[in-house]
Each structure stands twice: as structure tokens, then as C-alpha cells.
Amino acid sequence: MAEPGPIVDLRQSPTALRIQRGVMRHLREALDVCAYAEVPLSNGRRADILGLGPKGEITIIEIKSSLADFRVDAKWHHYKDFCDRFYFAKPPELEAEIFPETEGLMVADNHGALVLREARHEPLASARRKAMLLKLARLGAARIHLLMDPGERLPRL
Amino acid sequence: MAEPGPIVDLRQSPTALRIQRGVMRHLREALDVCAYAEVPLSNGRRADILGLGPKGEITIIEIKSSLADFRVDAKWHHYKDFCDRFYFAKPPELEAEIFPETEGLMVADNHGALVLREARHEPLASARRKAMLLKLARLGAARIHLLMDPGERLPRL
């Protein structure tokens, strides 16, 4: 991994960061799901939020902070190859109707989130889940270690 | 998990923290092993350092900062049920001869570590490895999330 990711990614808008915080808090407090922000995937994309349930269930949440943000992204469906459930997350002021009805949807602010539409359950193949658990376990260790002891030579994920 | 663990555990001696830093740096920089400090295990003990290799290999390193520290611990062999390879890590001033010849041994200071004796390879059962990877991936997420957004209701590991 060239770059295990800072805790706050300066490329994100304040709205996106509020949604990130609210969704991650909801996952932790309501669902017992442990979540990472900004997870690099093997297809070269980064998941905004990736949650890991107590049985290894993987949920990806793609944050869309504005209509423009949604329209500019034609590649969101590629995230679905890396999770059991996929949601968009939007701020309260953005209309729910712009999102595809086939996908899960959350609304979130700085303090929490609410599921507006449940995602379909499309289970990952077991080999991919296993590979992702290993990568996530290494990613978590590398990010924490970087805070404890900054270094240049970091593991490749 | 009641407590996902601070980055610096105040119960540890300065010598133990120096060894922790050097061993973790060695794992990361020389071996491409991502390491966690203070990992709770399902037998109620905590591994001082738990390293995760690129193929999911698990190494536990038990830090012994003094002869007294080694003598007081009659339970180190219980760590061996949770890893493929087990090492003791000692500071330079502690004699290597006090450690059992059957186990791996590292010497470490604040800057790095050196393997004095390789550990035997005793592979984990696949079900335990799988369970541990999931727990570690959740532990990493929970620890990072706690830094991003302190909270009280944390996942159980």
C-alpha cells in the first residue's frame, strides 16, 4: 500500500465528512458494524465507507453530497463486486428520488444516519470475502501503526 | 469489545514500549508484516504484538523487559494457540539464555529488532485463522474509529 490513508481526507467536502461521521456512528452504535473510511479496493477505486459485521458481512456505503456528485460518478456499480450490501448515503437536503430504486439508501448528518431503503443482499463469493478480511485486517494495523510510528515503507494492500 | 485499546498503554514500562516500537518497525519494514499492539485473545489474554503477513500468517511476539517479567509469567505458552509462529522479544541488556530454546527470540530497541532464533512454524487451524482475521479487521476499524469519533458503545470482539 503506497498510502494507508489519513483519518481525515482533505479531498472530501465538509458535507461528505458529516455524512461519513453520521453513517459510521450509526453502523457502530445501532448495528455492531465496524467501519473503515476510504478503503482502497483491488479494482483501483476507494470505498467511502466499508463496514464489517460480526459475521464478516461487508457493506459499502457511497457518499453523495450533491446532485452533481451523483451525476459525475458513472462507476458506482463497481463497488457492488466488493460487498454483500451496497448503499448510497445522502445529506437531508438532497432528494431521495435521484438515487436508483434498486439500491440501498441512507440519509445522514453529523450525528447519525437512518436507512431509507434497505439494500439487496447479494453475497460475496467466499474467496473474495476471505481476501478482503485479510486486506482489511492489514489495512487497520498499517493505519494505526502509521499513527504510532510514522514510516515510509508501508505494506502493499 | 469493552475497550479497543489506546495506542500507548500506560501499564507498560518504558523498556517494553521501546521493544514494542522496534519489533513493530522491524515487522513492517523488513518483513511486510502489519502489526497490532495489545490484541485481546479469546482466551482472555492480550498479545503484546500480533503480526499479520501478506498471506494471513499470524505471528505473536511476547515482550519480556526483565528477568522478573519473564519469571512471573507462567502462561506464555497459551499464546501459541493463536499464532503460526511465536517469539519472545527482549531488550539488549537481558540475557538470551533465560528464554526457552524451543521458542523464537528477538532482540529489540527503540529503532528496530533482530531475530536471534527463528520460531517453529506450527500452523493454525483454518477455522481459527478465519475467526482471527475477522476479529482483527474489526479491531482495526474500531480503534481507528475511536480516534475519529470517540464513543461509548463499541463492538464486542
On whether residue B155 sits in a domain, the answer given is no
Query: If we measure between CA atoms, which residue out of A35, A32, A149 comes closest to residue B146?
Result: A35
Partners of A37 on chain B (C-beta within 8 Å) are 148
Neighbours of B39 (CB within 10 A): 23
User: Looking at the partner chain, which of B34, B37, B139 has a beta carbon nearest the beta carbon of A155?
Assistant: B34
The total number of residues written for chain A in this structure? 157
Residue range A41-85, pLDDT digits in tens: 999 999 999 999 999 999 999 999 999 999 988 888 999 999 999
| One-letter amino acid of A105 | L
Contact A151 B35 (CB under 8 A): no
Query: If we measure between CA atoms, which residue out of B108, B110, B63, B65 comes closest to residue B87?
Result: B63
d(CA A133, CA A145): 18
On whether residue B6 sits in a domain, the answer given is no
pTM given for the model: 0.91
On whether residue A5 sits in a domain, the answer given is no
- Number of compact structural domains in chain B: 1
On whether residue A157 sits in a domain, the answer given is no
Most A CBs within 10 A among B17, B52, B144, hence the mutation to make, goes to B144
pLDDT(B62) > 70 = yes
- Domain range for B127 is 14-148
On whether residue B71 sits in a domain, the answer given is yes
Taking the C-alpha atoms of B21, B27, B33 and B38 in order, what is their torsion angle to the nearest 10 degrees?
-30
Residue ranges, chain A, pLDDT below 70: 1-11, 152-157
Chain B CB within 8 Å of residue A154 CB: yes
d(CA A156, CA A138): 9
On whether residue A105 sits in a domain, the answer given is yes
Yes or no: say if B85 and B102 are a contact pair by the CB < 8 Å rule.
no
On whether residue A155 sits in a domain, the answer given is no
The least confident of A1-5, B133-137, B149-153 is: A1-5
Based on its alpha-carbon atoms, the radius of gyration of chain B, rounded to whole angstroms, reads 15
Kindly state the average pLDDT of the residues B99-117.
Answer: 97
pLDDT at B73: 84
Instruction: Look up the ipTM and state it.
Output: 0.91
pLDDT at A12: 75
CB pairs under 8 A between A and B: 118
On whether residue B130 sits in a domain, the answer given is yes
At B75, the pLDDT band (50, 70, 90 cuts) reads: confident
Q: CA quadruple B78, B79, B81, B85: dihedral positive or negative?
A: negative
**pLDDT > 90: percent of chain B:** 83
d(CA A140, CA A147): 11
Chain B CB within 8 Å of residue A25 CB: yes
Give contacts of A 114-133 with B, CB under 8 A. 130, 133
Partners of A145 on chain B (C-beta within 8 Å) are 24, 28, 34-35
Most B CBs within 10 A among A24, A134, A156, hence the mutation to make, goes to A134
Residue in chain A lying closest to B38 (CA): A141
